[in-house]
Structure 1
Amino acid sequence: MVTDVPDRIAQRESLLDAWVDVQQRIAALQAEAADLLAQRWALMEDEIADAPLHREAILRSTVCEYAAAGRIAKGSMECAFSDARILHDDLPAVADAHAAGRITAAHVREIVHEADVVREAVRDGSVEPGTVALFEAAVLEVAEHDTPARTRAHARQVAAALAGVTVVQRHERALSERSVTVRSVGDGLALLQAVLPEHLALAIHDRLTTMARDLRTADRTPVLPPLEPEPDDEYGAPIDDDGLDLDEQSRWEAIERILAADPLFHDDSPAIIHVPGDERTMDQIRADLFTDLLLATDPTDAHGTALQNITATVQVTVAATTLTGADDRPAEIDGTGPLHPDIARAIAGRNTGWTRLFLDPQGMVTETDTYTPTESMRRFLRARDQQCRFPGCRRPIARCELDHNHDYAKGGRTTLCNLSHFCTAHHVIKHPSIPDEHRWTARQLPDWSLEWTSPTGRTYTDPPRRRVMFIPTEPPPDERPPGKYAFAPDWTDLPADAPF
């Protein structure tokens, strides 16, 4: 059966519209379910107030009943109740967006989790209660147009900006929780789990990935078998450092020259050893390298000792005032979240790969302090993109490659406004070799946003991540309101289009 291309495109659009509508209705129903849990929690608190001695029994009974009715694990049910309560009491704007289907339950989970930092700062009195509403507004700007994973990274950044001191304190407390544990998972396997500072864990994974990629692309050219050395000559025949008689060595070198020049010695020749290709997956190679590094310090000879020279790549952004010690604002691991300022200063002190960034009032990187055109363009684009520029993709910049948005073969220029980082999966979908019926296109907008156009003609925009955000400063002493707050700015003076 032959179907016209326009008909297929119309069917795609129809199915996509129907799927999006169902997803929005699912989100609205999940919001309704969360509201019902919040109402039940309120009723339970009334029941506890009437019988405070039975608090734990009442709480346990309620959770167990809902877990049984919904066929849900008890722990998951406890988390659902907790999230619903926080959503209802502290995050009304997020609850409204969920009810309208603009964000999903996955977005809500990430926002609720990252809001804990701001809520703790409010409880401690280090920021005013209105800061939670500011956090909601800032996070929803991204959540309503991006994936839960990117929402998590943005929410961490916002929380760190609004409650920086609290973030630093939490990191210091959490550092004592680092550990290494092991447990059996059956079939001769075990789970070795390490709880580490986030920047170290990311660096470990990055180094293992770089090593694994190096092994996958290693040269596996057929090699000659080693020549067995002759026994020592009892009459004192000259022996070289390898234990070979010099005459034998000369003959062997001649054989090597013949093998290299004579086409009769083909790949199937018994004189050639074939090194089999590595059939392991990336995860399996990472696991094997991880074992080698821990048990033998450096990778074994079989895996290539040159791998020990591979280092990890983690991109960190930190304010100059923090580097100089003028303040203790958290730095940021690009695409992941805040980093303790002391760790950022320590990394900066022993690393020469830092680049100074110049920002415009909206927090956008406009240039670097390097001059060489090619390298400065690369540094600028690494600082601007931070991750793959396909909407929702969080593949780190170290795993992406620069690509022309408008194909170079079709006249695209090598300029900043025509270059972006894409991972392999999203690079190939715009490759010229793909039929137009299935090919995506990408173009940059004046604000560095990337507009992708699907085969159906729909557009999806990926904005660049902002590097800074504006937070209120402490007012003069004579303008501070009474109370325990370190500062209490008037949020009503903020412009409607404040860049959060």
Structure 2
Amino acid sequence: MFPPGSYGVGVTVAELRPAVRDDVLPAGVVSRPSRPGDLLPVGLMTPEEKAAHLQRVGEVEAALAAYKAELVVGLATDRPAGADRQRGQAGAASGEWAAQPLDEDVSEFFPDELALILTCSRTAATQLWEVSTTLLRRLPATWAALADGVLDWPRARAIALELGWPGRESPDDVLAAVEAAVLPQAAGLSIHRLRALVRGELIAADPAAADRRRRRAERSADVTVRGLGDGMGELRATMPYPEAAAVRSAADAQARALKKAGDERALGQLRGMALHDRMTRPWEDQPAVSAHVEVVASLDTLESAAAGAPGAGRAPVLVDGEPVTAALARELLERLDALCPGGLQAPTDGTLSLAVVDADGRLIAAVTRRELEAAVRCGQGLGPPPSVDRYEPSPAQRRFTRTRDRTCRHPGCGNRAGWADLDHVVAHADGGDTGCANLCCLCRRHHRLKTHARGWCYAMTPEGVLTVSTPSGITRVSRPPGMQTAPGDIVLRVAAERQPTSDDDPPPF
């Protein structure tokens, strides 16, 4: 069957749909293909078996997605660009309006064919081709993890989208380094958090290319609107992220002020009204509100940006959780008067706190500049605030826990810590300590789930590593965002506010 000295694989194909003559079937009986549920009846499974089968189905779907990517790239190579009309010939694509090709060796009409094969839009087909090409040619380890069922398609796709077109200017060794940094964590992160991690690693690995992309992107800023039906519309403003975060924060602050004053409308409705009033009636006397922008950056990153030494600081800079370049972070801090010749200062009518972390990114202390200077003068060590003998956490505990967690700590949830409850992992009523080793941020939904839903189990280490188990026995781990990242001696958290608020206020739900 195979030539001498070669190897082959024998394959046996079982016909799952044998030929059936409809004319011999009993009345009322029809033939159809076998379904997985016919062979593995779901109704006979235990909850644990259903959970295990769901995981296995996910692994099979991942392997099929990897194979689909191979098919897409393989079919693309069968459609050479040489078969198209060449520039200068009648009917060739105009260089003035033609989109930049993903692969100059592939026919410009390949996405059109792929769209008809898959019965999807040409845009969706183009993106699938881009993701597949990136995985097969530039991210082989990610594709292998997908093919082996270790990584699912949404996460592999997220990595490819962040490293495909954005990484086109970066050499292969840079993308390989980013891939190696994110893959060990990828399966346990939400899509949003994974994409932010990839963006941050790419910025840190190739800051010069990141700044070039940023400058190009800033030129495409715009404001657009589209109808959503039912009399509603979507206003989309594309602008540098710090400005966008400040606009949203200001609208949110004004909405919450109205809510506190007794307005019964939903917060989202009040945010939209606040934005409308600020834009269309700026002459009206509006109440002052707090616009909060949080910057997280290592000191060496900011110093390297000032010295013009790209790549000297590996830790990415985060503005409200979004990775940005060190140069943009310095511009923002200087505009806030937080970074000046005299050093780091609290912005006008704002606050500045410092988070001291160890080499593994574990939070040691969250202090104000004055507290840090006092500790240095007195030779005192830094550490988490002490436990308190009551249910309500202290302001220092709130600051430490929110600095450590940044978001709701339930696996996969990205709600910001400022909107979350501080929850006792071991309930206070059950003897749980009111200390940072027993406190974590949970949004209201996941706080309710932990407290009232049956069968869920939460446990946390003193370093803040949270383990969550479902009623069906599936366990997931949530680590503080800063843990296991590149070391930075001090992390800065800058809150730019017109009116500072108390750390001891209740969660704004």
Moved more, 142-151 or 361-370: 361-370
Structure 1 residue 92, shift from structure 2 partner? 0.3
Match runs of 1:9-20 below 5 Å: 11-20=46-55
1:169 Cα deviation (Å)?
Answer: 2.5
Once the two structures are superposed, residues 128-173 of structure 1 have per-residue CA deviations (whole angstroms, 9 ceiling, x without a partner) of x322211111111221222211111111121121112222232222
For residue 387 of structure 1, the aligned residue among 402, 407, 411 is: 407
Aligned counterparts of 2:302 and 2:238: Cα–Cα separation in 1: 27
- 1:404, distance to aligned residue in structure 2 (A): 0.8
Distance 1:466 1:287 in 2: 33
1:62 aligns with 2:110: yes
Contact 1:289-1:299 at 8 Å conserved across structures:
no
Whole-Å separation in 2 of the counterparts to 1:465 and 1:11 = 35
Paired position in structure 1 for 2:442: 422
Which digits, 9 at most, give the CA deviation of each residue in 1:160-196, with x for residues without a partner?
Answer: 2111222223222222221223345566544432111
Residue 318 of structure 1 aligns to which amino acid in structure 2?
A: A
Paired positions, count: 389
Residues 171/212 of structure 1: CA separation in 2 closer, same or farther (3 Å cut): same
Q: Contact 2:225–2:233 at 8 Å: present in 1 too?
A: yes
Distance 2:434 2:483 in 1: 25
- Gaps (5+ residues) in structure 1? 1-7, 124-128, 220-276, 472-500
What is the letter of the counterpart of residue 337 of structure 1? P
Point out the structure with max Rg over C-alpha: 1
3-state secondary structure, aligned to 2:170: helix
1:332 aligns with 2:318: yes
Deviation at 1:467, TM superposition (A): 6.2
Q: What TM-score, normalized by structure 2, do the two folds share?
A: 0.69
Query: Which amino acid counterpart does residue 112 of structure 1 have in structure 2?
Result: A
Moved more, 361-370 or 145-154: 361-370
- Which structure shows the higher helix fraction? 1
CA distance in 1, matches of 2:204, 2:164: 14
Distance 1:36 1:321 in 2: 46
The match for 2:59 among 21, 24, 34 is: 24
CA distance in 1, matches of 2:240, 2:279: 18
Please tell me whether the aligned partners of residues 360 and 486 of structure 2 are also in contact (alpha carbons under 8 angstroms): no
Equivalences for residues 341-420 of structure 1 within 5 A: 341-346=329-334, 347=336, 348-349=338-339, 350=347, 352-370=350-368, 374-420=394-440
In the other structure, the counterpart of 2:496 is: none
Task: Return the match for 1:143 from 183, 186, 195.
Answer: 186
Measured against aligned partners, the alpha-carbon deviations of 1:69-115 in whole angstroms (never above 9, x if no partner) come to 21100111111111111111100001011112222222122211221
8 Å contact 2:457–2:468 — kept in the other structure? yes
Give the match for residue 293 of structure 1: 278
Distance 2:111 2:300 in 1: 49
Name the CA distance, whole Å, in 2 between partners of 1:184 and 1:465.
Answer: 37
What one-letter code is carried by the residue in structure 2 that aligns with 1:287?
G
- 1:311 and 2:331 matched: no
State whether residues 404 and 418 of structure 1, in contact with CA within 8 Å, keep that contact through their aligned partners in structure 2. Answer: yes
RMSD of aligned Cα (Å): 3.0
> Within 2, Cα distance between the matches of 1:117 and 1:183?
26
% identical aligned pairs? 26
Q: Are 1:33 and 2:84 matched, yes or no?
A: no
* 8 Å CA contact retained: 2:353, 2:367: yes
The C-alpha deviation readout for 1:279-304, integer Å capped at 9, x for no partner, is x443322222221221223888xxxx
Q: TM-score, structure 1 length as denominator?
A: 0.70
Q: Which residue of 2 aligns with 1:465?
A: 481
User: Greater CA deviation, 103-112 or 92-101?
Assistant: 103-112
Q: Distance in 1 between matches of 2:230 and 2:432?
A: 54
| Contact 1:315 1:334 (C-alpha < 8 Å) held by counterparts | yes
2:180 counterpart letter in structure 1: A
How far apart are the structure 2 equivalents of 1:455 and 1:215?
41
